[in-house]
Structure 1
Amino acid sequence: MLSPLDKEVLRSWSRHAVAPRLARVMGRPGTRRGARDDGPRIAVVGNCQSYGVAYGMKLLEPLATVDRFTMIGHSYVTLRALARTLATYDHVFVHEFLPGHLRNGGDSQDLVGLLPKTRLFGPVCFAAFHPDLVFIHDPTRLHGYVTGPLGPYQSALCLFAYLKGLSLDMANALFNENVFEAVGYLDMWGEASRELVETARDKFGLDLSAELMSWSRRGVFMYSSVHPMGFVMCDVARKLLESAGLSPRAINSHYYDIDELARSDIFPVYPPIAKHYGVQGSYLFKCENHHISQGVGDFLTLPQFLARCYEAFAGHDRAELANPRVEGWLADEASSRILIKLARENLAAGLTPAL
């Protein structure tokens, strides 16, 4: 089966090479699909955030031709085939990616070696709103993760409770402010901000400090620690276009917003954390729904989410459920003792939130 990247490479050659040549051979003027627009040709290659960046670039440069190439999963496309495809574009922006996506290997640095005009950029990651969200790497898959009710998004506290053999009620009782304070969930803003700004600046040459301040003033700007909202992606698109010497126009991006990542899983901002930052929070987990024409999708309350997680964990061996943070809690007797003590106290006090 062809991957999204395979289809996008074929589509690019069809639109920008095959169709115009056929039109000339047939003596017909180039069709809109095959003709080049008045603006530059721009390629955006990357993970799930790349659609938002590509859409933002098209919004900011409406005369440009903007094509997105999805670097998720494995494809039949080789590194050289991808480089040849991208060489036909005026500007190429690429998320940093690891080997495993392309046939015969190759990563983003290898692509830069073949195509020096490539501009690398990183994803927007910010954990302060969702400090409990972790990933459990699946050792049987190169870039895969253990999945649960919200795909790869897992709760560190839930995993800890499961591995300690706690009941679902005890697990539920962990989701309170005293526990969040004990594990440092209320002190993540500074570290998350530094990581975002310094990585973008030092590794990719983008200064997002002013943008981060602007996003923060709007309240919550992430659907999860790795999925930003649409206006964030539009700001990143603007910075990238400016770095390439283009002059994107001013536009109310919210008016034209198509928030692709809103269709994916959404991890809630827990109420005590939300209160700490002066925003609205909940314990309502949204399940992905990429086919909105077929239904409105599903949500899970905290007890439902925990129960589904326990069911998913039960399908794996203990060795497959490893996460560095949780392993640290389990290995430290004092930390484990404090968490279990707080859970018991909260349960006795009836502090088992649902929404």
Structure 2
Amino acid sequence: MTSPAVDPAPETQQATITTSTGEARTPVDPAGPAARRITGAVWAALGIVYVVWGSTYLGIRIVVETMPPFLSAGVRFVTAGLLLTGIIAWRQGPAALKVTRRQLGSAVLIGLLLILGGNGLVVLAETSIPSGLAALLISVVPAWVVLLKAASGQRPTAGGLAGVALGLVGLAVLTLPGLSGEVKVGGVVLVVVATLLWSVGSFSSARLPMPANPFTASAYEMIAGGLGGLAVAFVRGEQHGLDVTAISGRSWAALAYLIVFGSLIAFTAYAWLLQAAPLSLVATYAYVNPVVAVALGALVLGEALSWPIVLGGAIVVGGVCLIVSTERRG
């Protein structure tokens, strides 16, 4: 998926890593926020996360112009997962890929929730709705995470609850294009379901016996989710009548971009940021990504910016900003 979920947590506790593919990890922050300095390298890495993750929605929209949705998503994540596996074995040794049966089972479950359910449904939805609208609908994920945390007994802050309320209001406004017939309502519903699955996956990953190495966990999640996507593609019959020669060059280029930049480079930059920069700064990607996605969709694909998209998007981004700023302060 593209715009990762935010799992708000106090900066004095473990913070959840959520990658460009939606995987969530909980690394230890040994230095603490006070020991982190904002350097030029930090700003460069943050720029990569801002632009690349924000641009993945555009990439998906271009891919599905001539490629089947689940088939393309499956190929993307299986390829990215295998590449990451090779990189881990090369840089850290094959031992870094060893996990227990329970850890592997947890990684498979989270990969299916996040990549097959979350990302897969978004890819399917983008066959019928604009990429910018999809990005804005997805940005409500932090609100679902706060509600899941509250349901588990963790009391949210007043600011967090206010952010949830704003996010849900924004979500209601963003659904108006579907209700009015401007876009297919089915696509809007698919993205909303995707946000729920993504939220459950992000919330659950910090509570399951996951592999200790976050890169290893992400590799297995991507492979599992990608294989799940390929299975769904074959059940849907996406392979029937598929003419590889009819796939456009720009769809191939977009798929390669998603694999290399969206699933590998941006993820590495984000993982490094979590160790090198204040978490409150890193978390700003959650409300910058949708803005980048909407701008690129309008500039490159000429997607219309209707008033529900502009207003609803502004409300959702405001809610996410409030959630991130208050929940991370604890």
TM-score (norm 1): 0.22
Decide which structure has the larger Cα Rg and report it. Answer: 1
Bigger share in helix: 2
Bigger share in strand: 1
TM-score (norm 2): 0.24
Higher relative contact order (CA 8 A, sep 6+): 2
